[in-house]
Amino acid sequence: MKIDELPALANTIRRDVIEMLVRAKSGHAAGPLGMADIFATLYFNVLRHDPKKPNWKYRDRLVLSNGHICPVLYATLARAGYFPLSELKTYRQLGSPLQGHPNRLDLPGVENSSGPLGQGYSQAIGMALALQLDGNNAQVYCITSDGEHNEGQTWEAAMAAAKYRLHNLAVIIDRNNIQIDGHTEEVMPLDDLKAKYEAFNWHVIEIDGHNVTEIIDACEMAKAVYEKPVAIIARTIPGKGVDFMQWKYEWHGKAPNEEEAKKALKQLRTLNGRVEQDS
């Protein structure tokens, strides 16, 4: 997909997320909306993958460690052709493969089961190490949140990745400064996050997580770095595109009601002053 088409696709994914949440009457809003640009860019420009062959040996792997933002993963996978868009209507319904946290056995394109924070990070390291041992040059991208860095397992994993020189691993950190019960710097301060990762012997790149060119350039840089894992600290706006959700930690784990969803969808149909049609 052309670079200038990616922001519109990300906005479509945001609308998918809102529609999923209001139908389910539960789920997480802020993180999925904030990460839509990154997911759209990864699946439609960066990742080497094939929806028709989801288990292709040489595919790049995307590991979602903070599994609660799965609405953006589900919407992106559906838009990429891994399963019908109509499946999104079943989000969080009994018997649906689209549950509140992903199960890798339920949906094509889902690389890992996630829920407990910190564990996906370790799974990504295992995948990256296994690929190196197999001589497979596929890249592993691990999506993690800033609040997830409260988990000790995250830092143990970061040490292990540096020890094994996992140059085929890029960890993308959603640095939106919120978590379920407050702002990260009040709950458990993380800054200077860049300096922390550099002290763990990682190569660190900081980007605007809504700038698709910066996202692409960072991922290309990650593939060029040798003998070190790469941390991409992506500054994002939680609730991006919906004015009453933006920057409010209360929307971390909250779904909109019908009236709020109508307002959100109206805002998201306007992109750069242009009214978009439903797709």
CA separation for the pair 9, 29 (Å, rounded): 18
Cα–Cα dist 17/251, whole Å: 13
Rounded Cα gap, residues 253 and 134, in angstroms: 39
Domains of the chain, each with CATH number or no CATH: 3-275 (3.40.50.970)
Query: Tens digit of pLDDT per residue, the chain (279 long)?
Result: 899 999 999 999 999 999 999 999 999 999 999 999 999 999 999 999 999 999 999 999 999 999 899 999 999 999 999 999 999 999 999 999 999 899 999 999 999 998 788 789 999 999 999 999 999 999 999 999 999 999 999 999 999 999 999 999 999 999 999 998 899 999 999 999 999 999 999 999 999 999 999 999 999 999 999 999 999 999 999 999 999 999 999 999 999 999 999 999 999 988 654 545 555
Distances (CA, A) of 161 to 229, 242, 279: 6, 37, 41
Q: Would you state the structure tokens that stand for residue 192, as one six-digit string? A: 């200077």
Q: Is the pTM here over 0.85, yes or no? A: yes
